Every structure is written in structure tokens, then in C-alpha cells.
Structure 1
Amino acid sequence: MATNRVVSLAPSATEICRELDAIDRLVGVTHHCPLDVPAVGGWLNPDFDAVEECDPDLVLTTDSLQADLRDELRDRGNRVVHVEPETLPEVVKSFAAVGRAVGKADDGDELASRARSRIERVRRRVEGRPEPVVYCEEWSSPPTAAGNWVPDAVRAAGGEYPFLPAGERSREVAAETVEEAEPEHVFLHVCGRGERSDPDAVLRRDWDVPAIETGSVHVLDDSLLNQPSPRLLDGIEAMARTLHPDAFE
């Protein structure tokens, strides 16, 4: 089946299409995607009529939060490919799945292979080094420990992440829980904030943790950890350079 007209309802799917050199197939995206392509609404509240006006061969959705959208779109007669990665290996596998969906299966397989190689390269660089405890905050009101693939990403970068197992959804975390873990580094990647998260807001908290004592609170663009796309590989590399700078000299 030809897939020349694709609507992407997830920024991660859009970014995967970019890496697959398939941007020219996109005829609709969310307003979270910085492309010169018609926007059809937000990733959780798209305009279904606007999607229909794009006359898509394929609609891409992702995450369990878009499951209802997927079902509604299919009920309306659309061909929908939905990926729902929860761990780092599943994120990488989704690159190949999107590649097959948009008619670029070989490129999708190659993208997944390159991603695995990048992760393995980082792991080799940090192997055998002390693993500092890391706290990753996806949301700050209230403080929310990042889950899903982030625990895997921290471990790949050479850190320890005791807050959630990989695959579990992000959840609110108590100050006492953070203090008991004694994180040596904090990474802020607040949803929707890009690189604009305020590290001083964390440094001012009455948390008795080494990261605040040493000022080791780092801001990452939220797409580098929150988005299950090739951007996540950039996030892993950025974390690894912060945790183990001597490994990358």
C-alpha cells in the first residue's frame, strides 16, 4: 500500500520520519512539531475533521495516552499505525516499525541498528566507572520522577536510577524518597519547557541531597528524554558526558 500522505499525531513519530528522510510524506502534524506542514491540533486533542481534510494514507500515533485517538481514527476509516514503547529497547524497535509503516522498511531497520550501536558505544565508554545516583524530573508541580524508558537511558549513560523500574509510568515522588536515594545528579527535563526549566527552583528546595549541595542540577531539553525518538540517543549521550566527562575527553 502506498504511503505518500502521512499525518503524524506525535512529535516522536514526526522526528522518526525526519530521520528516515520521509518528511516530504507528511501532510499533517500537531502544532508541537516545528514543520512547515499543516497543523491538525495537539497530540492529545487533534481536530479529526482537519485530519480528514489532509486525506491521509496513514496516521501515526504513539503512547497509551493516544490509544483512544487511535480507536476513533480507525472507526472513522483511517489506516492507523500505533506504537507504544515503554522501555529503551522498545523505543529502538519502534523506529523500524514506523519505517515499515511509511514504506521505508530498510531505512527503519538501519535507523534502529544505528541507535543500538550508539547506545552500545556509550555503554562501552562508561563501563567499569562508578555509577552515580541520578534523579530525573519530568514535571515539577508536583515533582515527578521520570519513568518509561528514562531508567534504561540513565543506566546506559552510566548512572543508577532507584526511583522507578523501566517501563513504569512517571509518577509523583516524595521529598523523603529522593533524600533516601541521595542522588548525586539531578536532570530537569520538564514536559513542554524545552531548555527553559529553572535549575534554581530545585536548588532552592529544602531537600537534603548531594546534588543540591554540590549544585549538580542540569537542564536538558525535554525532547532529549521525554520523546521516544532518535532524540533520546542524544539525551543518553548528553547525560553520559555529564556523569562521566573524563570518558569523553
Structure 2
Amino acid sequence: MGPKRIVCLTEEPTETLYALGQEDRIVGISGFTVRPPRARKEKPKVSAFTSAKIDAIVALRPDMAIGFSDIQADIAAELTRRGVEVWIANHRSVAGILDYIRRLGALVGEASRADRYAAQLEAGVTAVAERARAYPQRPRVYIEEWDVPQISGIQWVSELVELAGGVDVFPELATESLARQRILADGCEAARRAPDIVIGSWCGKKFRPDQVAARPGWDQVPAVLNGELHEIKSPRILQPGPAALTDGLADIERIIAAWVAKQSAR
């Protein structure tokens, strides 16, 4: 039932299909895939995020390619012209991630299993939120996806920060779906919002807290003064799939819980 030869253009369909026991349907994956680790050993890498080996994908004879967002629109168009059916998901929220898992499960005939898996993930998110409700203080958190230009956090990351007990300092930008819409017009605005914590997840490169601390106007920012500049690797938090709701959320909770504990000890 459903497609039997799937090319996953991003990591989240790969991680989800493996979790549902449907990895045999996958014939190609993104080169950025790290979850699960065995996928990198078992499946050919045929795409990046903004580019793909179209001829190699077509040679795999897929009956579906699954990708994510407007950034992969050109890849989707070319594959469609080459006769490949394409599903480009565009979910941006925690609820959207859970719905995506259920929809993908239904697509491959595993609706019940996908529903159970999504419910398990949702229960984990709820447990984090319940623990956070007991915090006496909520830190102000600046999420940075890129440094030049500065890009603030996407919606699902913002939501996870709030669920874990933090307050996103750019809530008005979090709901903007496109990265270019989350570029800070004034690079000093993040410093003026005085975050207690900075979470850096520079997609594809190492976060440099020293460079953030050296920015003009940042010397008196609470996060800098108190050494609260933290990195979460982008595969753990910037992929809109299970990883964000498990390892990514666990990282956020650990950072915020440690901050709360320090405040309580003062």
C-alpha cells in the first residue's frame, strides 16, 4: 500500500519511516541525514537541501520523492517534469510535526502505528511542559539560526522554548515561515531585548559564542554576562521531525532548567 520506492530529500521523512519500520521503502536520502545513523550506511545520498542529483534520483525509479518547504520548490519542479510524484510538506509548528508524522504513516499504510508514535512524542512534549510550569522564573531566550545576517528562530523551535519554560524574545518573527522574513533588520535589536539565554543553531556550521559576545552592544546582555550562550546542533532542532521533539527539546529543557536552578540558588 502506498509508494514503495521513496526518495527522502530531507531528514525528517527518513527518520519517521525508520521509526515506523518502513525503511525498506527508502531508496535515496539527503546527504545531511544523520538520524538514524544507520540510514547513512544503508541508503544512497542523492540530495542536499537546496540541490539534488536529479539524474541519480530518476535512476532509482522512485514512485515518490518527499521534501520540505519552498526552498526545495525547484527540486520538486524538476522531478515533476521528469515524471516523479513529489510531496513537499510545509509544516512549521509542533502540531504540524505531529500531523506530518500521522500523514506520512497513513501514506505508507501505517496509520495506526504512526498515530501511536505521534502520541508518544506528544506525551514527551507534554511532560516537559508540565515540569516547566513549576519554574518560579522564565528566562528570556534569543534563538539564532544564522549569524550573517542574523536570523531568529522558526516557529516550532520558538514553541519548544516556550513549552520548556522560556520566553522567545522574537515571538512576532517566529510565525514567519520564510527565513528571509526572520532576518533582523537591526542586528542590535537582539541585544536590546536583553535575553537571559542565547541558543545558537547555525544551520550547517559551528555556533561561535565568542563572536556573538563580541557584537556591538552585547557586552551588557545578561546572556553574555552570565555565560549563557549555548549551541544546539541543527540536526537536533532545525529538522521539522521527531528529532526536534526528542533530542532538541531535551537540549532546550536542560539549558533552561539549569538557568532556573542558578537563579533559585542566588
TM-score, structure 1 normalization: 0.90
Tell me which protein shows more helix as a share of its residues. 2
Matched with 2:50 is 44
Q: Is the 8 A contact 1:132 1:243 kept in 2?
A: yes
Q: CA deviation at 1:23?
A: 2.2
The number of equivalent residue pairs is 245
Write the letter of the residue equivalent to 1:242.
I
C-alpha distance in 2 between matches for 1:50 and 1:147: 32
Write the letter of the residue equivalent to 1:43.
F
Matched with 2:140 is 133
Confirm or deny that 1:172 pairs with 2:186: no
- Alpha-carbon spacing, 1:160–1:2, altered in 2? closer, same or farther (3 Å): closer
Q: CA deviation at 1:30?
A: 2.0
Q: CA deviation at 1:42?
A: 1.6
Q: CA deviation at 1:41?
A: 2.8
Matched with 1:9 is 9
Residue 160 of structure 2: which of 144, 153, 168 is its match?
153
Q: Deviations over 1:50-95 (max 9, x none)?
A: 1111111221111121233333323332222221111221122111
Confirm or deny that 1:143 pairs with 2:150: yes
Q: Is the 8 A contact 1:184 1:209 kept in 2?
A: yes
Which deviates the most, 237-246 or 49-58? 237-246
Q: CA deviation at 1:157?
A: 1.1
Aligned residue for 1:43, secondary structure, equals coil
Q: Is the 8 A contact 1:73 1:80 kept in 2?
A: yes
Write the letter of the residue equivalent to 2:153.
A
Confirm or deny that 1:112 pairs with 2:128: no
Matched with 2:98 is 92
- What is the RMSD computed on CA atoms of the aligned residues? 1.9
Q: CA deviation at 1:2?
A: 4.1
The percent identity for this pair of structures is 29
Residue 252 of structure 2: which of 231, 234, 239 is its match?
239
Q: Is the 8 A contact 1:147 1:164 kept in 2?
A: no
Confirm or deny that 1:210 pairs with 2:222: yes
Gaps of 5+ in 1: none
Q: CA deviation at 1:133?
A: 0.4
Q: Deviations over 1:11-30 (max 9, x none)?
A: 22222222223222211112
Which deviates the most, 116-125 or 64-73? 64-73
C-alpha distance in 2 between matches for 1:204 and 1:119: 35
Q: Is the 8 A contact 1:178 1:209 kept in 2?
A: no
